[in-house]
A and B are shown apart, each in its own frame.
Chain A
Amino acid sequence: GESVGLHLPTLSVQEGDNSIINCAYSNSASDYFIWYKQESGKGPQFIIDIRSNMDKRQGQRVTVLLNKTVKHLSLQIAATQPGDSAVYFCAETRRDDKIIFGKGTRLHILP
């Protein structure tokens, strides 16, 4: 079936460097995408979203890019900090209102 997936299960980044987490989706009818951060023992927390009529959206230290041609999302975190260590999920909202998650990428910050 159609699903949202991620390219890398674990990403290690030096503190202070930029992080880029990638996500591929296969449902071309999806029109809204969300990035979540999940810390150990907690529920997922909203980071940033983007609608299908946009290519880029920026927040505080985070940027999401959407390439509809190749069905690809990325989350960029600037100046990565120890507090950014977590698992990051992309999710898509389909036209039947379901929010479907990918498997997640663990971001590990190196000192």
Chain B
Amino acid sequence: NAGVTQTPKFQVLKTGQSMTLQCAQDMNHNSMYWYRQDPGMGLRLIYYSASEGTTDKGEVPNGYNVSRLNKREFSLRLESAAPSQTSVYFCASGRGRDTEAFFGQGTRLTVV
């Protein structure tokens, strides 16, 4: 099993460009999450989805949108990228409440 797969692994965007980060899990998990990790800031929750068809804001949702396409896939969209969105983005999935989340390998995004 691949676990949690994120694409792309690296991306450079110009300010104002849009893009979608893709995430898929093959563990039949209900919950999925998007985090960003900046140096010295730990992981901050952007959005999460407790089940297919539901999404909710996390700690830092501004500038992002998400889609829970089906149980396997949870995408993160940047409509108009800004340099402040330069970060490493992690997708994660879990069985549900009070269970651990499993993480992908991350997408390193640079906005110039």
Residue positions of A touching B, CB distance < 8 A: 9, 31-32, 34, 42-46, 49, 51, 89, 93, 96-104
Contacts and interface: CB of A to CB of B under 8 A. Distances in A.
B48 interface: yes
Contacts, number: 57
A108 B4 CA distance: 28
Interface residues of B, number: 29
Interface string B70-112: 0000000000000000000010101011111111111000000
A42 B103 CA distance: 9
Interface string B35-62: 1000011111100101000001011000
Contacts of B42: 89, 101-104
Contact of B98 (A42, A46, A51, A104): A51
Nearest to B54: A97
